[in-house]
Structure 1
């Protein structure tokens, strides 16, 4: 049997010299085997190459960087943008039905929960104290990015501005119409985390539309689908 012979010797044997397995009492070996079409060395090489290919495809799907372009079979392996915005998204703006016009100069963020709603332009948000947090996007589909540098306004600062400085929850609504994740709710500990942001920039550049321009939520250890993009409305509750 193969186990009784030297593996090194078998791997050095070419197709012409490949010998069939000897007969066995359980009739598991064909009594009249066909001629060998591939050597054991070839089988090992084929399996090894296939395994390496799968590893590269999986790595390209799961992590950011140059190897992402190898994820040819993966739905999230595509190039999303240039420079600072070139990392995976769970859904593009086109797929969500969000247009650049919706996030244009007429866009306003509405903060509710206090005595009167607050309407803020993007310039208003940029004029507030800015904080940068290095956080990845980790999706429930099984992929993640490396850490990205997100810059924006802390959620706890927005809670205070809304008139609810000690919030229990916040309901975040997107410009996206419909869909399971166009609305999400965050808990008190998430809102008050110092790295929980309404992000306006990423890696030193403006957010691209696919990454949530004009503003998106980013919260530590929060699944990517709950880091709502294209935010239009936030309702804080005590």
Structure 2
């Protein structure tokens, strides 16, 4: 007899069953909840309600932005932590997700497609759940590699996709939680004794080649291997070399005081060496009190301050604290306006790439560690690190630490 995927006899693995699926589901419940929360925090860190059209890459978010708040500047490693957890955990959960999808694949082919209205709604939520989770994980992994092969901008795609997926995920959890609790009580029973088959347990299982616990060890070991070979991107030095399965799309750091990670080089974003030359470059500072133009020598005559801050990017990589030195943003604001901190629009010399213009909130401008940096680790900035001047702000995403700064406009944005 020819078996087809819609036939229960087609699926013969003795590993499938409610207990196996429920255990993987509990792991994903915890992990995906953390992913969702840290993803929302990452979105908030961009201050999307500040200066519409500049930081906001999802202009029609509406009620989905109900939770947004002014992103803090402390602790200075905040974004490094939240985004590092988001990306590393997402990669680590890939084997768990694949095992979970494998465990429930018979239900995707079950016929009839809808036995009742309630069953039809459950199948629809399952479609959104599976499609949503695959979309979020695939686009997230591609973003880590800077491979934007999908149409449109990553930011709105990942943002809206997350809300659709999490809504389906929450509905699925509410529907399946009672059964999952019952199934997990059978921890010490073999899979064929599961209480509730529910279309997962094979009616005529094939001989086992691995135990259920062996399969779970394989999944856990795979996740551990992905963690070990990806988490190093959040550190400098030898640990970065352990991230062999998550090679970063940007250039590798070199040697010396400025040998730490960057995303894009000056050549990549088409910086004109004549415009960025320390001999010809000028910074334009504008505010309600007027406009001031400063060359590099003029900036160095202003009070200089230092701060130890990391760079942390949405792709999940980060550096350790680097020593930056330059002029405080709040001191530059005071040159063209009132003493109290105000928002600022930062414009770069770069001609290509995202965030050529970026906005910072008043609390970020007012933090004494927020600098227009001229030096790093005791040396003038290199071209790839933003020479002659770049923004560095505690706890801000890397793209808001604008390089090759040409203009600062202080005021309510």
Q: Where on the TM-score scale, by shorter chain, does this alignment land: which range?
A: 0.7 to 0.9
Specify the alignment match of 1:187 in structure 2.
Answer: 361
RMSD after superposition: 3.3
Q: Which has the higher strand share?
A: 1
Specify the alignment match of 1:54 in structure 2.
Answer: 226
Distance 1:153 1:75, change over 3 A: same
Q: Does residue 299 of structure 2 align to residue 125 of structure 1?
A: yes
Q: Does residue 346 of structure 2 align to residue 175 of structure 1?
A: no
- The answer (yes or no) to whether the contact 1:155–1:197 under 8 Å persists in 2 is yes
Q: Does residue 241 of structure 2 align to residue 69 of structure 1?
A: yes
Range moving further from structure 2, 66-75 or 118-127: 66-75
Tell me, in whole angstroms, the C-alpha distance in 1 between the residues paired with 2:221 and 2:260: 27
Q: Does residue 383 of structure 2 align to residue 204 of structure 1?
A: no
Tell me, in whole angstroms, the C-alpha distance in 1 between the residues paired with 2:284 and 2:333: 12
Residue of structure 1 aligned with 2:390, choices 213, 216, 223: 216
Residue of structure 1 aligned with 2:407, choices 219, 223, 233: 233
TM-score normalised to the size of structure 2? 0.46
Larger radius of gyration: 1
Q: CA deviation at 1:68?
A: 1.7
Distance 1:56 1:108, change over 3 A: same
> Structure 1: which 5+ residue stretches go unaligned?
1-23
Higher relative contact order structure (alpha carbons within 8 Å, sequence separation ≥ 6): 2
TM-score normalised to the size of structure 1? 0.75
Distance 1:81 1:123, change over 3 A: farther
Specify the alignment match of 1:16 in structure 2.
Answer: none
- The answer (yes or no) to whether the contact 1:114–1:162 under 8 Å persists in 2 is yes
Q: CA deviation at 1:95?
A: 2.1
Q: CA deviation at 1:58?
A: 1.1
Q: CA deviation at 1:52?
A: 5.7
- The answer (yes or no) to whether the contact 2:341–2:363 under 8 Å persists in 1 is no
- The answer (yes or no) to whether the contact 1:109–1:119 under 8 Å persists in 2 is yes
Q: Does residue 340 of structure 2 align to residue 166 of structure 1?
A: yes
Q: CA deviation at 1:172?
A: 0.6
Specify the alignment match of 1:102 in structure 2.
Answer: 275
SS of aligned partner of 1:189: helix
Q: Which has the higher helix share?
A: 2
Range moving further from structure 2, 73-82 or 109-118: 73-82
Specify the alignment match of 1:153 in structure 2.
Answer: 327
How many residues align? The count is 215
